[in-house]
Amino acid sequence: MRSKLASFCRIVAALGLALPALPLAAAEFKLAATHTLEDSGLLATLIPAFEAASGVKVRLAIGGTGQVIRLAANGDVDAVMSHVKAQEEQLVASGAGLKRHAVAFNDFLIAGPPQDPARIRGLQDAVEVMRRIRAAKARFISRGDESGTHVKERELWRAAGLEPRWAGYMSAGVGMGRVLMMAGEMQAYTLSDRATFAAFRARTGLELLAAGDARLYNEYGVVAVNPARFPGINADAAARFVSWLTSAEAQRLIAGFRIGGQQVFFAPAKAR
Amino acid sequence: MSFRHLRKSFGGRKLLDLGPFAVGAGEAYVITGDNGSGKTTLLRILAGLEPGEIAGFEFRGVPLIHGRLPEDVRHDIVYVHQHPYLFHSTVAHNIGYGLAARGIAGVERRRLAAQAIAWAGVDHLRGVPPAKLSGGEKQRVALARAKVLKPHLFLLDEPTANLDGEARAQAIALIRQLVQDNGSLLIACHDRELIELPGTRRFHLENGKLDEA
Amino acid sequence: MDILASTRQAFALLFSGDAELWTIIWISLRVSLTALALATPPAVILGYALAQKRFFGRRILVVLIQGLLSFPTVVVGLILYILLTRQGPLGSWQLLFTQEAMIMGQAVIAFPVLAAFALAAVQGADPRAHETAVSLGASPLRAALTTLLEVRFAVVAGVFNGFGRVISEVGCAMMVGGNIAGVTRNIPTAIALETSKGDFAQGIALGVVLMLFALGISITLGLLQGRGGLK
C-alpha cells in the first residue's frame, strides 16, 4: 500500500514538472464560424492545415450568423467567419472588428423532392421559384434563425412581394444540415448553400432543382476582432489566421475542396 | 369454520402446531396466550393474510384452498387489526367500504352505513378525518366497518389492548353485542373482561398448541 | 449592458400576451401534460406490481427502472429518431418532427420517474391498508386502487417530478421535434434557438417561465410532503 502511494506521488510530481515544458507558445485562438462552414466540412479541412502551419491551437465555436456575429461584437472570440457581408461590415463599422476580408464564395440553391410538385426544376429566376412554391402551397422549410441562409431567403420573399405564411411553410430553428435532413424526411423544399447541400445530398434524397440566379450569390468573409476595443483578445493569432486564410495556400485548399467530386467553394478573386 | 391441522414455522422454529379445531355458527371463542405465542399469526392465517400450512380448511361447509379465498368468502371472514387501519377518507366511506366492494349501491349503502355508525355510537365523529380519531374511536369504527358486512366470522386481534377507561368499556360493549347477536367470533386477547364475557369459550395458546381452558 | 434591456423586454413580452411567446408556452404544456397523461397509468401499474408481487425478473426490473431515472435524454431522442425516420421501421407513420413524436419521447423519459415514485410510494404504504381492503372483501383490483389512493400524495409527487423532468428537456425534443415554429417549438428548444440567434429577450422570457414552473413544482412537492402519506 505504501509503495503504491509512493509511486502515485512520483507520477503526479513528474507530470507537474512536465506540464510547464509543454509548448505554451500554442496559446488558444478562439474562432467563431457559421453552421454552413462546418456542415459542409470545409472547416475540417482548413483548421488542421492552419494549426499545422502556424502551431496555433484553434478553438472553434459554431453557431448561426446572428450568434457568431454577436460573439465577435462582445469580444468573446478572436475572429469570426460568416456569410452575411452586411453584418461583417457592420462589425468593422462599429469598431468591434478590424477589417473584413473575403474568403470564398459559392451560391445558394433551392433543393427539393425529386417529384417537384411546384414545378421549379431548371428555373434560373430565384424569385419566380419562390412564387411557384408559394402558389403550389408546397412544403418549405426555412432556417428561421437569422442565419445567412435565412437572411437570403427573406430577401427573396421580399423581392417576390410575398409573405411566407401558409400551411406548408415551416420555420425550423436548427442548422443547415439538420434542415436538409428534415426536408428530406418531409419531402419539402428548402434554400441551402451549395456546399452543405452537396455534403448532405446522399443522406437526404433531395435534388438540386434551381440555381444560377445572381441573387443567390453567397460570399464568405472573415473579420478579426479589434484588440483596441477588447484588450484580452489573442490579436496575434487572429492576424495570423486572417493572413493565412487569404494566402495562396489556403485559397488552394478552398478551391481544391471537393464534395462528391464537385468543387463547392470558389476564390473571391473570381467574384463579380 | 374448521380445519384438521394448522402449522406455521418461522425460520425453523415451530410457532403453531394445531390439531383439529372448529368454530361453530354463533360461537365466540376467546384465545389467550402470552405475547409471541402466535395468537395474531393464527388469526392472520385464518384471514388469508399470511401463508400457513392448513389441511381440511372448511368454511360453512365449503372446503377452501388457503391463501385463495373466493370472492364471496372474503367479506364473510373479516379480520380487524390490533391497531385498525382507517382509510384517509371519511368515517362513512370507511364503514361503507366493504359494502361498495360487494357492489351494494349508493342509497342502500348509505342506509346500512348509517345504521352501523349509530350502532357504534360514532355519529358525532362523521366530519372528523379518520387519521385524527383516538385509538378507541378507531376501534369502534373498525368494528362497525366489520359488522355492517354481517360476516359469518369475526377475527378480532387484541381489540382492547391499547385502550383503557371509557374507550375500553365502549369497545367491550360493542363486542358483547356481537356475541349476543349470535355472530361467530375468534378474539385474541389478554383482557380479563373479554375473557370472562358471558357466551364465550376460552382457549389458551401455548407452545404452539391450542387447548380449551 | 444590454442584458438588462433584454430582461426588461422579456417581461414586456410576457405581459403583453405576445402571441409567439404564448404559443411556445402552450405547446410546451400541451406536449408535456399529454406525455404525462399517457405515461402515468402504465407506470403506476408497473410500480404497484413491482412493489406487491414477487415474480421472476422483478429485481432486474427494479434495478433497470432506477438506472433509467437519469438516462440521457438525447439517447432517447436518438433511438426515437432512428425508429421514426423515413427509412426506419416506423417511418410509414410519418411522425418525425411532429408533436406526437415529442410526446412519445417525453412519455418514455417520464416513465421511469413515475414508476420509481409509484414503486416507492406503494412500498412505503402501510401494509395494513391493503390487508384491510382485502379483508373487507375488496377484489385485487379494488384493493390495488385503494392502496394507491392511500399513498396518493407520494404518487402525485412522482407526477410532479416527471413533469419537471420533461418540461425543461431539450435534447430529445430538438431531435425528434425539429424546433418548428408553431408546431414543435417548445420552451427549451425555443431558448436554444433564441440564444443561437443572439436575441436574448425571448430567451430570458421563456427562461423565466421555466423557472416559475420549477419553483411551482418545488413548492407543490414541499406542500405534499407536509400533508403526509409520504414516508
| CB-nearest partner of C197 from A67, A184, A186 | A67
Task: Output the CA–CA distances (angstroms, integers) from residue A83 to A59, A235, B131, in the order listed.
Answer: 20, 22, 70
pLDDT attached to residue A269: 56
CB B188 within 8 A of CB B17: no
Distance from the C103 Cα atom to the nearest Cα atom in chain B, whole angstroms: 34
Q: What is the pLDDT of residues B37-49, one digit of tens each?
A: 788 888 888 888 8
Q: pLDDT tens digits for B106-115?
A: 888 889 999 9
Q: Helices A248-256 & A235-245, crossing angle to 10 degrees?
A: 60
Beta bridge partners of A253: none
Instruction: Give C122→chain A minimum CA distance, Å.
Output: 43
Give, in degrees to the nearest 5, the angle at Cα C12 between C8 and C14.
Answer: 115
Amino acid at B106: G
Q: What is the pLDDT of residue C231?
A: 38
Please give the pLDDT value at position A272: 38
Which residues 37-66 of B are in CB contact (within 8 Å) with C? 47-49
In the predicted model, is pLDDT for residue A9 greater than 70?
no
Residue bearing the bigger pLDDT, C85 or A16: C85
Q: Name C211's Cβ contacts closer than 8 Å, sequence gap at least 6.
A: none
C229 and B88: CB-CB below 8 Å? yes
Q: B–C: how many Cβ contacts below 8 A? A: 59
Which of A70, A173, A178 lies at the smallest CB-CB distance from C198?
A: A70
Percent of chain B with pLDDT over 90: 15
Name the neighbours of A, counting chains with at least 3 Cβ pairs within 8 A: C
Q: How far is C13 from chain A (nearest CA, A)?
A: 19
Return the pLDDT at A186.
92
The dihedral formed by the CA atoms of A174, A176, A182 and A187, expressed in degrees to the nearest 10: 140
DSSP E strands, chain A: 28-34, 57-63, 79-82, 97-112, 140-142, 169-171, 189-193, 207-210, 217-225, 258-259, 262-263
Query: Distance from C10 to chain A by nearest Cα, in Å?
Result: 18
CB contact at 8 A, C204 and C6: yes
Confidence band of A238 (pLDDT split at 50, 70, 90): very high
Residue of A109 and B64 predicted with greater confidence: A109
Chain mean pLDDT for chain A: 86
How far apart are alpha carbons B174 and C98 in whole angstroms?
Answer: 65
- Residues of chain A with pLDDT > 90: what percent? 50
Pick from C136, C145, C224, C230 the residue to mutate for testing the B interface (most B CBs within 10 Å).
C136
Grid cell 476580408 — which residue? A101
Q: Do chains B and C touch (3 or more CB pairs under 8 A)?
A: yes
Q: How far apart are CA A26 and CA A236, in angstroms?
A: 12
- Contact residues, chain C, for A171 at CB < 8 Å: 180-182
pLDDT over 70 percentage in chain B = 98
Check pLDDT > 60 for residue B194: yes
The answer to whether B143 and B159 are in contact (CB under 8 A) is yes
Average pLDDT score over residue span C108-121: 95
More confident residue, B8 or A254: A254
Q: Is there a contact between C198 and A170 if contact means CB atoms under 8 Å apart?
A: no
Q: How far apart are alpha carbons C200 and B16 in whole angstroms?
A: 75
Amino acid letter, residue A144: G
Give B-chain residues touching C142 at CB under 8 angstroms. Answer: 101
Mean residue pLDDT of chain B comes to: 85
Which of C82, C187, C197 best probes binding to A when mutated, by most A CB atoms within 10 angstroms?
C197
A 10 A CB-CB count for C174 gives: 24
Q: Do A182 and C178 count as a contact with CB atoms less than 8 A apart?
A: yes
Looking at residue A4, its pLDDT comes to 63
pLDDT tens digits for C51-103? 988 888 888 999 999 999 888 999 999 999 999 988 889 888 888 899 999 99
CB A146 to CB C198 under 8 A?
Answer: yes
Separation CA C217–CA B3 (nearest Å) = 55
Who has greater pLDDT, C120 or B25?
C120
Strands (E), chain B: 2-3, 5-10, 13-18, 21-22, 28-32, 53-55, 58-59, 62-63, 77-80, 153-157, 185-188, 200-206, 209-212
- Structure pTM? 0.78
Structural domains of chain C, with CATH: 3-226 (1.10.3720.10)
Q: What residue type is assigned to position C208 of the chain? A: V
pLDDT at C94: 85
C-alpha grid cell, residue A173: 430553428
Is the pLDDT score of A144 beyond 50?
yes
> Do the Cβ atoms of B81 and C132 come within 8 Å?
yes
- Could you tell me which residue, A79 or C18, shows the higher pLDDT? A79
Mutate: best of A65, A67, A166, partner C, most C CBs <10 A: A67
The region of weakest confidence among A15-29, B19-33, C82-96 is A15-29
Q: What is the pLDDT averaged over residues C19-37?
A: 93
User: And the C-alpha cell for B106?
Assistant: 349508493
Widest CA span in chain B: 52
Per-residue confidence band for B19, with pLDDT thresholds at 50, 70 and 90: confident
Query: Which of the listed ranges B68-72, C102-106, C208-212 does the model predict with the highest average pLDDT?
Result: C102-106
Q: Does the structure show a pLDDT above 90 at C107?
A: yes
- Residue B55 pLDDT > 50, yes or no? yes
Neighbours of B54 (CB within 10 A): 19
Q: Is the pLDDT of residue C213 over 90?
A: no
- In the predicted model, what is the mean pLDDT of chain C? 88
Contact A146/C199, CB-based, under 8 Å? yes
What's residue A15's pLDDT?
54
Q: What is the nearest CA distance from C138 to chain B, expressed in angstroms? A: 5
Q: Residues A220-230: what's their mean pLDDT? A: 92
Q: Specify the pLDDT at position B21.
A: 85
In terms of Cα–Cα distance, which of B75, B87, B137, B145 is closest to B116? B145
The pLDDT-based confidence of C12 (bands split at 50, 70, 90) is: confident
Q: How far is CA C31 from CA A153, B37, B139, in A?
A: 30, 58, 48
Q: Which CATH architecture has domain B2-212?
A: 3-Layer(aba) Sandwich (3.40)
The alpha carbon of residue C107 is apart from the nearest alpha carbon of chain A, in Å, by 23
For chain B, the structural domain boundaries read 2-212
- Disruptive mutation site among C2, C97, C180, C202 for chain A (greatest number of A CBs within 10 Å): C180
Is A148's Cβ below 8 Å from some Cβ in C? no
**Residue B180 pLDDT class (50, 70, 90 cuts):** confident
Confidence bin at A20 (pLDDT 50/70/90): very low
* pLDDT attached to residue A187: 93
Q: Locate cell 509503495: which residue?
A: A3
- For B115-164, what is each residue's pLDDT tens digit? 999 998 888 888 888 888 888 899 999 999 999 998 889 999 998 888 88
Q: Evaluate if residue A13 carries a pLDDT over 90.
A: no
Distance of CA A95 to the CA centre of its chain: 23
